[in-house]
Chains A and B, each alone.
Chain A
Amino acid sequence: MTKYSLYGKMVLYALLRRRSRMVVALLAVAIGATVLSGLVTLYYDVPRQMGREFRSYGANLLLLPDGDNQVMPEQAVQLAAGSLPQGKVIGMAPYLYDRVLINSQPIMAAGTDFAAVKKVSPYWQITGQWPAPGSGGAVVGAEVAELLRLKPGQTVTITVPGAEQEKKLPVAGIVHTGGSEEDFIFVELPLLQQWLGKPGLVSVAQVSVQAGEGELTAWMQQTAGTGGGITPRLVKQLTQSEGLVLGKLQALVYLVTLIVLLLTLICVATTMMAVVTERRKEIGLKKALGAENRSIVLEFLGEGMVLGGLGGLLGTGCGFYFAQVVSLQVFARPISFQPLIALAAFGAAVAVAGLACLIPVRMATGVEPATVLRGE
């Protein structure tokens, strides 16, 4: 009992008496732990966050009608989308296509849900405004707008083949995408379904899912055959490129983390070593007074671990704060606290501090006390 209380006292006073040096060492360990916990947290979180950014490329999964069917029921689409991993679906935009006449020119019309389109295809550039829900407003592709000389605010008259009646719709906005969307006129889905006499039917559904190619392929195999008249297809251009680029990014962050960690740990170790080397004389004196090598090593190890523990605690907190700031700045989303990473960073700080103490102490205990005490 007394033996341990003496040990505790020695470690405590060694730290307290040499305050300025210990602050230096503590700071070094804390920096190391900050870098460690901050970067590892980022490394863990970056692919997830970046994966979300990549969804700005638009839908990576298409739901199409089976076989030669032109349309499929909306409910079946909802059902299929519902079986996707929950929380990973960014949005699902249903489309119903058919030809209509505007100024007796044949134009492709698409019925869709504008709120979903905004989520699935964030790259749409709208001149004018998105139509308010339920207002019956239309969005006109840039090519069509140029052809028919339409501007936002004007009214467009649409004739549906088969139905004699003409429909008048306000033009809410013009869409520029540089793709095939510019050749369409978009109206609200229920409206087009009603005109065409196809209630509850859609031609295609674009789904934006935050998942890699492997995950989506697995889902497709799982649901194959049970689709209820639906064939899912991957947009290969997106899924494959995303996997490729994300892989590279992860490798980049991984390597950067590794190199920064390595250098920081060496930095911490050298500082600790410098602080301990200074105390060779003290070691010599203890040995001359009859202390065993083992107990000297144990004492320094204890000191190092106390320092490592304090610095690790401080640094882990700072590191998480740093990762949080980065995540909010870059991705505008908070990061989740990873207890495992915090624990690992704390453990690494204690281990590195302890080891860095041991090396110079080992060297010091190896020499004769007389040599050390005499000074060199």
Chain B
Amino acid sequence: MFWRMLQGALVRQRRRMFMMALTIALGVSLTTAMLNVMLDVGDKVNRELKTYGANIMVTPRAASVVKDLYGVEAAGGGNQYLQEADVGKIKTIFWAHNIVTFAPSLAAEAVTPDGQPVTVVGTWFEHYLPLPTGETAVTGIKALKPWWQVEGNWVDDADGQAAMVGSLLAGKLGLRPGDTLAVRLGDGRQPGRFRVAGLFDSGGAEDMQVFIPLKTVQQALHLEGKVGKVEVSALTTPENELARRAAQNPQNLSVAEWETWYCTAYVSAIAYQIEEVVGGARAKPVRQVAESEGAILQKIQLLMLLITVLSLAGSALGISNLLTASIMERSKEIGLLKALGATDGAVALLVLAETLAAGTAGGIAGYFAGLGFAQIIGWSVFGAAVAAKGMVIPLVMVLVALVTLAGSLPAMRMLLVLRPAEVLHGR
């Protein structure tokens, strides 16, 4: 009997049930979309902030003490280098997946035929690096410095005679893409001739420099397999008190704290892990980039959280509103049921079962619609899919169940106290 009544209600009151399911679907889709976007926004924005460039600088340990300061020759002179073979190991640390890209470089002083000194930097432009894990990583300054405005083309790493010239230097020397640049590198008697593949405008000190493939500089300086420094761009977690204490000296932490610090993607932890794998290296976080990233990330996450709370509250009230409206509408029917001898429990059960049926259908439809909305946001804003987090499903289910029950409570109370005679008479 109960099932027949339920079925009857669902079929006969199709319109009303459809409305209820639609409202719940809307609420659920909103909830799903906002939760998914909120949980993923940190990762996405973090990737966007990578346009600010490297946040970790890896230099040889010895050189970081006796470094030449703006042309001041350091005492001792014994410059040390990092091994190029070690560079790939950066991709093997605990937080390897958080390393977005990196580029080694080796700088050399060179002289143009008319005696002007220029700094020539050897680096990877777009280098395919085989990893110990068998994968191949694409690294280089093309990915590391996306803000460079390039006129002409990027240099192909295999082409040892190609060069990219900074815009200020090019202006001074009168160079255009396609021209030839002659500079004397290292102790070579003959000036090397380079084809200018492109000019770049970086807005920084690089605008006075020439960039050529790393191999060429290594050969000219007789420093095969050596690099001067490595710039690393990594996804990091905003710093907190623990990270700050660790940055002072990791040895001061307790074992439990040390483990937490090591297994969190703090910029200091990643720098520490790089020092572990790259021999004789010193990895320093670039505070300007690392600190600001943390601040901006936290703000965005908080902002999204608050917007999500508002939209959740909105959809919860919307659902409960509609439920109240649609149950009140049926007072006459309920009155008749009660007049025929239905107990309060039976009536409540029937109404709840109906609501549940509509809610389930609406909830499932809404979940998938919400995923769709989240993808629309992800693709149009970040150009990448928003990861569908599994934890959203139980969260949404609990929320919807709570909201639906809470929403039908006032209406339910009204139904139970209603007097059949009054209602049937029409007030």
Which of A's residues lie within 8 Å of B, judged by CB? 20-21, 24-25, 27-28, 31-32, 34-35, 38-39, 42, 46, 50, 53-54, 56-58, 99, 105-108, 121-125, 143, 146-147, 176-179, 183, 233-241, 244-245, 248-249, 251-253, 255-256, 259-260, 263-264, 266-268, 270-271, 273-275, 277-278, 322, 325-326, 329-331
Contact B310 A245 (CB under 8 A): no
Q: How far is the CB of B191 from chain A (nearest CB, A)?
A: 26
24 A-B contacts, Cβ less than 8 Å apart? A24-B325, A31-B314, A35-B314, A42-B303, A54-B296, A107-B69, A123-B292, A124-B287, A147-B66, A176-B287, A177-B288, A179-B287, A183-B70, A245-B51, A248-B48, A252-B382, A253-B303, A255-B380, A256-B37, A263-B26, A270-B23, A274-B16, A274-B326, A322-B310
Which residues of B318-338 are within 8 A (CB) of A? 318-319, 321-322, 324-326, 328-329
Which of A56, A183, A256, A325 has the most chain B CB atoms inside 10 A of its CB? A256
Pick the contact of B48 from A122, A239, A245 — CB < 8 Å?
Answer: A245
Q: Is the interface of B mostly helix, strand, loop or mixed?
A: helix
Q: How far is the CB of B163 from chain A (nearest CB, A)?
A: 21
Which residues of B331-379 are within 8 A (CB) of A? 373, 376-377
Contact A274 B307 (CB under 8 A): no
Contact B329 A53 (CB under 8 A): no
Which chain A residue has the least Cβ–Cβ distance from B306? A326
A125 surroundings in chain B (CB, below 8 A): 287, 291
5 further interface pairs, Cβ-Cβ under 8 Å (given A106-B72, A264-B315): A24-B328, A46-B303, A58-B292, A147-B65, A237-B52
Contact A27 B51 (CB under 8 A): no
A-contact bits for B288-317, CB 8 A (1 contact / 0 none): 111110011001101110110011011101
Q: How far is the CB of A316 from chain B (nearest CB, A)?
A: 14
Q: Given A20-B328, A267-B318, does the pair A260, B311 have CB atoms closer than 8 Å?
A: yes
A183 surroundings in chain B (CB, below 8 A): 67, 69-70
Contact A267 B26 (CB under 8 A): yes
Contact B315 A245 (CB under 8 A): no
Contact A235 B19 (CB under 8 A): no
- Indicate whether B22 reaches chain A with its CB closer than 8 angstroms: yes
When chains A and B are docked, how far (Å) is the Cα of A108 from the Cα of B70? 8
Contact B72 A108 (CB under 8 A): yes
When chains A and B are docked, how far (Å) is the Cα of A143 from the Cα of B72? 14
B48 surroundings in chain A (CB, below 8 A): 244-245, 248
When chains A and B are docked, how far (Å) is the Cα of A50 from the Cα of B380? 20
A325 surroundings in chain B (CB, below 8 A): 306
A105 surroundings in chain B (CB, below 8 A): 75
Contact B325 A274 (CB under 8 A): yes
Contact A263 B30 (CB under 8 A): yes
B75 surroundings in chain A (CB, below 8 A): 105
When chains A and B are docked, how far (Å) is the Cα of A248 from the Cα of B378? 11
Contact A21 B26 (CB under 8 A): no
Which chain B residue has the least Cβ–Cβ distance from A121? B288
A245 surroundings in chain B (CB, below 8 A): 45, 48-49, 51, 296
Contact B314 A57 (CB under 8 A): no
When chains A and B are docked, how far (Å) is the Cα of A24 from the Cα of B204? 61
When chains A and B are docked, how far (Å) is the Cα of A126 from the Cα of B290? 16
Q: How far is the CB of A250 from chain B (nearest CB, A)?
A: 9
Contact A235 B30 (CB under 8 A): no
A178 surroundings in chain B (CB, below 8 A): 57, 284-288, 290
Q: Given A39-B310, A124-B287, A263-B30, does the pair A252, B317 have CB atoms closer than 8 Å?
A: no
Contact B292 A108 (CB under 8 A): no
The 3 tightest CB contacts between A and B, nearest first, are A236-B203, A267-B318, A178-B286
B67 surroundings in chain A (CB, below 8 A): 143, 183
Q: How far is the CB of B62 from chain A (nearest CB, A)?
A: 12
Contact A58 B303 (CB under 8 A): no
- Indicate whether B27 reaches chain A with its CB closer than 8 angstroms: yes
- Indicate whether B29 reaches chain A with its CB closer than 8 angstroms: yes
Q: How far is the CB of A238 from chain B (nearest CB, A)?
A: 7
A24 surroundings in chain B (CB, below 8 A): 321, 324-325, 328
Which chain A residue has the least Cβ–Cβ distance from B308? A256
A-contact bits for B22-43, CB 8 A (1 contact / 0 none): 1100110110011001000100
Which chain B residue has the least Cβ–Cβ distance from A250? B381
When chains A and B are docked, how far (Å) is the Cα of A50 from the Cα of B34? 20
B291 surroundings in chain A (CB, below 8 A): 56, 122-123, 125
When chains A and B are docked, how far (Å) is the Cα of A58 from the Cα of B27? 42
Q: How far is the CB of B37 from chain A (nearest CB, A)?
A: 7
- Indicate whether B7 reaches chain A with its CB closer than 8 angstroms: no
Pick the contact of A236 from B23, B26, B204 — CB < 8 Å?
Answer: B204
When chains A and B are docked, how far (Å) is the Cα of A278 from the Cα of B203? 67
When chains A and B are docked, how far (Å) is the Cα of A23 from the Cα of B299? 37
Contact B307 A42 (CB under 8 A): yes
Q: How far is the CB of B370 from chain A (nearest CB, A)?
A: 9
Contact A28 B201 (CB under 8 A): no
Contact B373 A241 (CB under 8 A): no
- Indicate whether B112 reaches chain A with its CB closer than 8 angstroms: no
Contact A31 B34 (CB under 8 A): no
Contact B381 A251 (CB under 8 A): yes
Which chain A residue has the least Cβ–Cβ distance from B316? A31
- Indicate whether B147 reaches chain A with its CB closer than 8 angstroms: yes
